[in-house]
Amino acid sequence: MPANRDANPESNYITANRFYVELESTIAASFTECSGMGVKLKREAIFEGGVNDQQRIMVGQSEFSDITLKRGMTNDLTFWTWISQVLGQSTHRRRNINILLFNQAGETIQCSTLIGAIPIAWKAPSLQANATTLAIEELTLAYEGLKINNSGGGGAIELQDGRDKLGYFSGSSSGNGLLDAVNPLI
């Protein structure tokens, strides 16, 4: 861990414009927006007989919200290739996606790993002859799990080997909460 994380708290603040998304074990694409990441736990209120001033809250299954990635359109067909694989009913190519957040000093402060992500929507930009704005494409991902760590990256992998006994896709845990890259993308 870099020394200035503890020594200089001001450099540990995370601003919303300092992020990268790893799709293929390297930072291959720059995104203008990454929105929607979150988790919600289903809850159930239990009322005990004779206890009228309290309730017990039981939590159940987690539900992860879809995430939308936006970027300026280029000649890179990474998004389209991935969604085409899903549309073609070939083996669905799930991936672990890393979202890296950086502090003011450029150090990775947080890594959010979307486990078992799969594209569920792709949207081409609106094209207008009189427009001067950048063409923005969007990719919406659904994912099965979320891990957040203080550091990481380099573990965005394509998942081909099925699920482990906990229901996650293959990859061994390295002890830091991230999955090790077993099948790096080409």
Using an 8 Å Cβ cutoff, are 100 and 154 in contact? no
- The residue range of the domain holding 55 is 4-159
Is 127 within the bounds of a domain?
yes
pLDDT of residue 183: 33
- pLDDT exceeds cutoff 80 at 167: no
Is 51 within the bounds of a domain?
yes
Is 120 within the bounds of a domain?
yes
Is 166 within the bounds of a domain?
no
CA distance 183 to 159: 7
Is 164 within the bounds of a domain?
no
Return the CATH number at 32: 2.30.110.20
Is 175 within the bounds of a domain?
no
Using an 8 Å Cβ cutoff, are 182 and 160 in contact? no
Q: How many domains does the chain have?
A: 1
**Mean pLDDT across the stretch 132-160?**
77
pTM of the predicted protein model: 0.71
Is 176 within the bounds of a domain?
no
Strand-pairing partners, residue 136, are 72
Is 74 within the bounds of a domain?
yes
pLDDT of residue 2: 47
**Mean pLDDT across the stretch 2-11?**
54
